[in-house]
Amino acid sequence: MLPKYRVQPRLVWRIVLALGLLLTILALSACVANVPLDYPNGNNATCWTLERSKTDPNTTCDPTETKWTDFGDVWLWRNCDSTGTVINEYKYDSTLCHSLQMTLLNKGHGDNYAHIYFGQDSAGYPSLFVWCVNNGQGTLVATVRQPDLQLIDPMPSQDSFVQSYSGYPCAAPVEFYVLTTGEYQVNIGPDGEGKISVMVFHGLPPEGVYFYNDDVDGTATPGE
């Protein structure tokens, strides 16, 4: 069964989009910087939920301030943004904690050129790790964390290019898209024969993962 939605890579518009999205990517990076990069009590982001956020321009908060609730069984932690004026309060819940094993998602689908892993980053966020493979050597080129996806429009009006990785150490291009279906798509290729391996999924942790093969002339075949 052929997927209903396919993104066809075209070199010219890919370059134009890459240039146009550069400032957007920089802006998103600045926003993500306000997400905690470490947590107390095990440093596992999956254990914590943002309860509330408030702005107090007249007060500089302590980014390490913690407190217990009156019930004594819920841990609250205050985290400040870089200005020290926006206070985010997180609640710890041990029942939400997940320890995610590093898993290769695209085994047999373009893995001669790139490995797409799912796991957790150093702060414990569910994350995708993109490793380019060149002459048998793997190099980490990108980490896409759960909060990074939250900054991208989940239902764009058209399939949208987000980022690409090409050139050394990538033996074939790796491209990342968000689709009108709310899915995310990773293209690996084209390779030397013009073949493209496509992985599509929902969210992080990734759900509904499926694969298909494409090529530069637009002919698609189901992934095996």
CB atoms within 10 A of CB 34: 16
Out of 55, 80, 96, a domain closes at: 96
For the ranges 6-15, 95-104, 159-168, 176-185, the lowest mean pLDDT is seen at: 6-15
129 shares a domain with 65:
no
Whether residue 215 is predicted with pLDDT greater than 60 in this model: the reply is yes
- Whole-prediction pTM: 0.75
Give 92's pLDDT tier (boundaries 50, 70, 90). Answer: confident
What mean pLDDT value characterizes the chain? Answer: 77
Q: Is residue 5 part of a domain?
A: no
User: In the 8-state DSSP scheme, what is residue 186?
Assistant: E
Residue 208: per-residue pLDDT:
96
Out of 64, 79, 96, a domain closes at: 96
Q: Is residue 78 part of a domain?
A: yes
Residue 116: per-residue pLDDT:
97
Give 82's pLDDT tier (boundaries 50, 70, 90). Answer: low
170 shares a domain with 205:
yes
Q: Is residue 178 part of a domain?
A: yes
Residue 59: per-residue pLDDT:
64
206 shares a domain with 120:
yes
62 shares a domain with 18:
no
85 shares a domain with 185:
no
Q: Is residue 3 part of a domain?
A: no
Give 171's pLDDT tier (boundaries 50, 70, 90). Answer: very high
Residue 118: per-residue pLDDT:
97
Residue 21: per-residue pLDDT:
38
Residue 52: per-residue pLDDT:
80
Whether residue 72 is predicted with pLDDT greater than 50 in this model: the reply is no
Q: Is residue 156 part of a domain?
A: yes
17 shares a domain with 124:
yes
Do strands 174-178 and 114-120 pair parallel, antiparallel, or not at all (unpaired)?
unpaired
Q: Provide, rounded to the nearest whole percent, the portion of the chain with pLDDT above 90.
A: 39
Strands (E), 93-220: 103-104, 114-120, 126-134, 137-145, 160-165, 174-178, 184-188, 195-202, 207-215
130 shares a domain with 200:
yes
123 shares a domain with 16:
yes
Count structural domains, the chain.
2
53 shares a domain with 92:
yes
What domain range is 74 assigned to? 45-96
Out of 55, 73, 96, a domain closes at: 96
For range 184-205, the mean pLDDT = 93
197 shares a domain with 151:
yes
State the Cα–Cα distance between residues 185 and 20, nearest whole angstrom. 20
18 shares a domain with 67:
no
Backbone CA torsion sign across 163, 214, 204, 180: positive
Q: Is residue 224 part of a domain?
A: no
157 shares a domain with 55:
no
CA-nearest of 138, 131, 124 to 204 is: 124
